Structure 1
Amino acid sequence: MMARPKPVYMWTVADTLKWLRRHCSDRCVQYQELFQRNEITGRALLRITDDSLHRMGILDEKDRDDILREIIKQRLKTDIMEIRDMELMNNVYQNCI
């Protein structure tokens, strides 16, 4: 059984930078310094909007779109994991009754 990844809301800035390198295009890796300077943790990553990326200094609209698309995918993965956890806990609870 594979080890479960650390939940996004527990990610450090270093974890977020690793995610950015792994999931965003080579063009977007140039923004690592901005993510670090703004101390973007996993919790902050899940709340980022197009406007916040622009305020961070990511002025290229295509780059913002690329990053935001990956953030949205990550939000969905996080939601799915949480739903599975709730279903699992519900099943455990039902089996105890």
Structure 2
Amino acid sequence: MESRVQDGAEALQKGCLHKEVSPAQWTVPEVCAWLGARHGDLAPLAAEHEVTGRALLRLTEGTLQRMGVEPCSRRWELLQELLGLRLQQELEELLCIVGREQHPRGHGDVPTDGPRSSPCPE
């Protein structure tokens, strides 16, 4: 746990929260894996509707209802989790912006030696 906190603090200093792919960039299989871990029976539904990460973050109560997600309490639970994902992504994007302003490309301690898998658009 301590190392995760340190990693997070270092990431905050560099301006990017994590090195994984942003939820908005998830493929259909990645969306299905995320849903499968939380709502197992919804993963096939996401695959059937070819829900990408971008589409996942834009789901609404009405869309979930049309997709057949019942009851209403289940839709609400999923929407709360999606809100958390949206907030996480927005925070990461803001941290990336702040990081770029503090460390312009080619200056400071921003690594320039090869590609990195960051949610920060270059």
TM normalised by structure 2 equals 0.68
- The alignment-based identity, stated in percent, is 28
Structure 2 gaps, min length 5: 1-6, 9-17, 108-122
Higher normalized contact order (CA 8 Å, seq sep 6+, divided by chain length): 2
* CA positional deviation for 1:92: 1.5
Equivalent residue runs for 1:1-97 within 5 Å:
4-22=19-37, 24=38, 28-93=39-104
Number of equivalenced pairs: 91
Larger Rg: 1 or 2? 2
Higher helix share: 1
Q: Where in structure 1 do 4 or more consecutive aligned residues deviate above 4 Å?
A: none
Structure 2 distance, partners of 1:59, 1:52, is: 12
1:5 aligns to what SS in structure 2?
A: coil
